Structure 1
Amino acid sequence: KLLGVLDYEKGDILCIEEERFDAKVFLSFLQQVLVQYPEGKIVMILDNARIHHAKLIQPFLQKYTSRLELVFLPPYSPNLNPIEGLWKWLKSSIIYNV
């Protein structure tokens, strides 16, 4: 399973692969995002997975509210999340052709 962010300005992708995602993994990923992008405001478009709303990450989000904004998509709308196109391409072009 992959978790990632796409930088529209540079075209860079930061992603992690884990067997299982939970709030601790997501919190660690958010920390990595801030390290990777040390300046400016970061807006992340997310689905409504439970880990994205976990109580564990709330203090972190409050601490970095001026740097990190999470925007949640409506339920069942992966077509609105641009990184979903990348995941679809990876699955069809890379993973299934290995």
Structure 2
Amino acid sequence: MNTRAWIVFLDESGVSLLPQIRRTYAPRGRTPLLRHRLNWKRASMAGALGYHSTDPERGARLCFHLKPGSYDTTALIKVLEQMKTFYRGEQVVLVWDGLSAHWSRAMRAWVAEQDWLTLERLPAYAPELNPVELLWSSLKKRELANLAGDHLADVADATEQGIHRINHNPQLPWSFLAHTGLTIHPAHPPNLRKDQ
């Protein structure tokens, strides 16, 4: 594994026009009502949270993608191409789950041609090890909570507001990582010189 790479966790999640019902406050005796059109249109989000393996001062980086429908190998390759630009060609170790599109023959062939990218697989049935799951939870509990939009654009706008909120709080992406129990340690602890 490259010791000077970005460690990037990627995950996908679905959203729809059906509201994410969450408990909320209202004046006593006035139960809040959500009115929506029972529209089943769906979109998919892909989020990538990156942490530098040797230089935490570079901060965490959040890369986000939203599209109608669901992700397949072709769509995920486009996301990875955008991620390459986002990370300016720096080395990336991508950590994701066992979704078939992540490990398809076409995906493995494409990755084999990329000198900037290495894939690592999360253990099966271990979403608690992916900090992006906490990103989805944060969005769905805040910006997407009780949102009864008429169009997918309403969901996209709310999601974009949430991404801006998370990007403007540099501690939040690190808290997502800390919640998983995983850590990123520099190759040389700050109190030791390399020549010792």
1:5 equivalent in alignment to 2:48: yes
Q: Which has the higher contact order (CA 8 A, sep 6+)?
A: 2
Aligned residues: 97
Q: Any unmatched runs of 5+ in structure 2?
A: 1-43, 52-57, 148-196
- Counterparts of residues 16-95 of structure 1 (less than 5 Å): 16-18=65-67, 19-64=69-114, 66-95=115-144
TM-score w.r.t. the length of structure 1 is 0.88
Q: Any unmatched runs of 5+ in structure 1?
A: none
Runs of 4+ in 1 over 6 A off after TM superposition: none
The structure richer in helix per residue is 1
Deviations 1:45-96 (A, max 9, x none): 10111110111122221111x3111111111100001111111111111211
SS of aligned partner of 1:94: coil
The amino acid of 2:49's aligned partner reads: L
TM-score w.r.t. the length of structure 2 is 0.46
Rg larger in structure: 2
Distance 2:84 2:141 in 1: 30
Distance 2:45 2:59 in 1: 20
SS of aligned partner of 2:143: helix
